[in-house]
Chain A
Amino acid sequence: MDQVLLASPLLVPLAASAVTALLWRRPGLQRPVSLAAAVLLLGCSAALLSHTLAAGTLVGRMGAWPAPFGIVLVVDVFSAIMLVITGLMAVAVAVYSAGQGATERDRAGFHPLFQGLLLGVTGAFATGDLFNLYVWFEVMLIASFGLLVLDRTREQLDGGLRYVALNLVGTTFFLLAVGLLLGLTGTLNMADLARLAPAVENQGALAAVAVLLLIAFGAKAAVFPLFNWLPAAYHTASMPVAAIFAALLTKVGVYAIIRVFTLVFAHDTAFFGPIVGVVAMATMVTGVLGAAAHYDVRRILSFHIISQIGYMLVGVALMTPLAIAGSVLYVIHHIVVKANLFLIAGAIRQAGGSFALARLGGLWVTRPVLGLLFLIPALSLAGIPPLSGFWGKLAVIRASLEAEAWLLAAVALAVGLLTLFSMIKIWNEAFWKAAPEPPPAETWSRAARFATFAPIVLLAGTTLAIGLWTEPFMGLSLAAADGLLDRQGYIAAVLGERATAALQEGAR
């Protein structure tokens, strides 16, 4: 049963993608299939998380080929958390996509691509093999390009081409790094790499490979200075697509950075820590300044994704248990909040007729509930207690202070303030000021309104739950951090005891 559970986060979206593709000419039937698959994915991932917490890391050697020769799936607590949050996002976006514009989206092939994207994301979270990770990145890239140009407008093609071009540069770096790493160590299994990396003679070449990987994953995660593709592409996508992108795509890059640098290159933290730290600070600052300069809701939110990625890298920069736990908690909080803000932006567009702040206004009078629902994730993003962002920032900043990284802590605090500024900007312009023109007439059907607001309320509730009842979430993050720092445990789980014994001998 364990093996079924382990493979299920991949099998469910793959099967759903295939079935919705078979139903290509019956778009109406695709929607229930897609939603059912999303719910099933959430259920399977939750079962996987509880299994991992109870019984430890779960390893599956695909095709019964022994590690490190075959491809392995490895799900530890961190992977399982990411899978659960992916399931939650899948459900939220699957419901939301049944709202405004659903018929056109379904006809353009939204569901097969959406499930394909989920497959790429869950695969990247579950794999224990570096080349396999590359394959999942490609799956994600293909599906996301299809989703990005779903409406076939000129603007979308323009953004989509930029997205693909810059991501291809990133994946080329990834491929170069994979080739060099295979030449240096003779393996691409991550546990085996972790075992062999400290013993590699040419540590300089290994460091170069690590920097290549940092560039490749950094381009995915949109860190400074590789973030240009993100605001160029995200503001053209339709809202359910932008929400799932904002929630998951960059976070796969963050996941890959955390995984590889805590596992494979952990022996050289003194070298990489400061590099990642500087990148993290530059990412926070440039992202938040970009957001402050823009007056389109989608662009502001896009730049905030970049800014928040910086916080998630603090764990890798400091490599202490608290810092990594803070990063994990931050990822959880940010995925929920950011997806929700994009969903709300779609609702604002529906209610106010535009994404441009100059043309919005008066929504607090006409839509007070939407205003309240906006405030929850917006204030959480800025880190106002007691919402989820506060605890994420608290953990990250406290870890910086404990590690005596004063500058990092100061930057994190200042960026929080600027985040609040641009959230207040959206609030003032869209909700508070008088409407410049009368809002468009009500065009929502009851079903569309339910599909739009149910996921927003669900995610806002999650944000409140993380904020008010932080203990279990912090506990999960600490468990994930313990798992990430216990490299011996990971290697033993994947390769068996014998290889680990050899490692300890080598270390002596």
Chain B
Amino acid sequence: MNDSLILRTSAPLLLWLALAVSIFIVLRGHNAPGGGFLGGLIASAGILLYAIAHGRDRAMRRMRMAPVGLCGIGLLAALASGLLGFVTPDTPYLTHRWWFPGGGLALGTTIVFDLGVYLAVVGTVTAMFLPLLRK
């Protein structure tokens, strides 16, 4: 628990702001600078700020899951997104599939890959830095 009232009050708000920005960055990343890696770093910055303000244990409780587990889910998601390449014969791994429902909308499996990277980065960074904080 940090002594600063300002930090303690603003940290939860900044956490939500960081998460919202990080999701925006992930979605933007398909055709512009951004993507899962950057988004993941921004989200973990929000989580770490919260942990500095309210202590490691409360931050861990709000994550609801061991950081390493988060990393595992992310890796599995990224890995699985590439497996669809094997559906048709002789297409290599990571060949992504696209669906165009019309209206300029393009939905692809690349977003699964990016979200996987996002979770893996959040998991790894928090797993590395949370243990360095005081309880």
Residue among B66, B75, B82, B95 making CB contact with A18, cutoff 8 Å:
B75
Contact A109 B68 (CB under 8 A): yes
A62 within 8 A of B: yes
> Which chain B residues lie closer than 8 Å to A2 at the CB level?
90
A61 within 8 A of B: yes
A413 within 8 A of B: no
Contact A112 B90 (CB under 8 A): no
Nearest to A24 among chain B residues (CB) is B68
Chain A: minimal CB distance from B83 (Å):
8
Residue among B73, B74, B86, B92 making CB contact with A63, cutoff 8 Å:
B92
Contact A62 B92 (CB under 8 A): yes
Given A4-B86, A24-B68, A112-B68, A14 contacting B75 (CB threshold 8 A): yes
> Which chain A residues lie closer than 8 Å to B71 at the CB level?
18, 21
Contact A64 B85 (CB under 8 A): yes
A60 CA / B95 CA spacing, docked (Å): 11
Chain A: minimal CB distance from B120 (Å):
9
Given A18-B76, A19-B76, A21-B75, A63 contacting B96 (CB threshold 8 A): yes
Chain B: minimal CB distance from A328 (Å):
27
A208 within 8 A of B: no
> Which chain B residues lie closer than 8 Å to A14 at the CB level?
75, 79
> Which chain B residues lie closer than 8 Å to A15 at the CB level?
75-76, 79
Q: Interface digits, B54-73 against A, CB 8 Å rule (1 contact, 0 not)?
A: 00000000000010110111
Chain A: minimal CB distance from B92 (Å):
4
> Which chain B residues lie closer than 8 Å to A61 at the CB level?
92
Contact B94 A63 (CB under 8 A): yes
Q: Interface digits, A442-462 against B, CB 8 Å rule (1 contact, 0 not)?
A: 000000000000000000000
> Which chain B residues lie closer than 8 Å to A6 at the CB level?
92-93
> Which chain B residues lie closer than 8 Å to A64 at the CB level?
85, 91-92, 94-95
Contact A22 B95 (CB under 8 A): no
Contact A60 B92 (CB under 8 A): yes
Contact A3 B79 (CB under 8 A): no
Contact A62 B79 (CB under 8 A): no
Nearest to B86 among chain A residues (CB) is A4
B89 within 8 A of A: yes
A4 CA / B123 CA spacing, docked (Å): 28
Chain B: minimal CB distance from A400 (Å):
41
A17 CA / B68 CA spacing, docked (Å): 11
> Which chain B residues lie closer than 8 Å to A7 at the CB level?
82, 92-93
A282 within 8 A of B: no
A7 CA / B91 CA spacing, docked (Å): 12
Contact A1 B95 (CB under 8 A): no
A493 within 8 A of B: no
Contact B72 A3 (CB under 8 A): no
Report A3-51 residues with CB < 8 Å from chain B CB.
3-4, 6-7, 11, 14-15, 17-22, 24-25
Q: Which of A7, A18, A22 has the most CB of B within 10 A?
A: A18
Contact A22 B91 (CB under 8 A): no
Contact B66 A24 (CB under 8 A): yes
Chain B: minimal CB distance from A11 (Å):
6
A21 CA / B94 CA spacing, docked (Å): 23
Nearest to A25 among chain B residues (CB) is B66
Q: Interface digits, A89-106 against B, CB 8 Å rule (1 contact, 0 not)?
A: 000000000000000000
> Which chain B residues lie closer than 8 Å to A22 at the CB level?
69, 72-73, 76
Q: Interface digits, A108-142 against B, CB 8 Å rule (1 contact, 0 not)?
A: 01001000000000000000000000000000000
If A18-B72, A18-B74, A112-B72 are given as contacts, then 12 extra A-B residue pairs at C-beta distance below 8 Å, sorted by A number, are: A3-B91, A3-B93, A14-B79, A15-B79, A19-B72, A24-B69, A24-B72, A60-B92, A62-B92, A63-B94, A64-B92, A64-B95
Give A contacts to B, CB under 8 Å: 1-4, 6-7, 11, 14-15, 17-22, 24-25, 60-64, 73, 109, 112
A-B contact pairs, 28 of them (CB 8 A): A1-B89, A3-B85, A3-B86, A3-B92, A3-B93, A6-B92, A14-B79, A15-B75, A15-B79, A18-B79, A20-B72, A21-B68, A21-B72, A21-B123, A22-B72, A22-B76, A24-B68, A24-B69, A25-B66, A25-B69, A62-B93, A63-B85, A63-B92, A63-B93, A63-B96, A64-B85, A64-B91, A64-B94
Nearest 9 A/B pairs, CB to CB: A21-B72, A18-B75, A22-B72, A7-B93, A63-B94, A64-B95, A60-B92, A18-B72, A24-B68
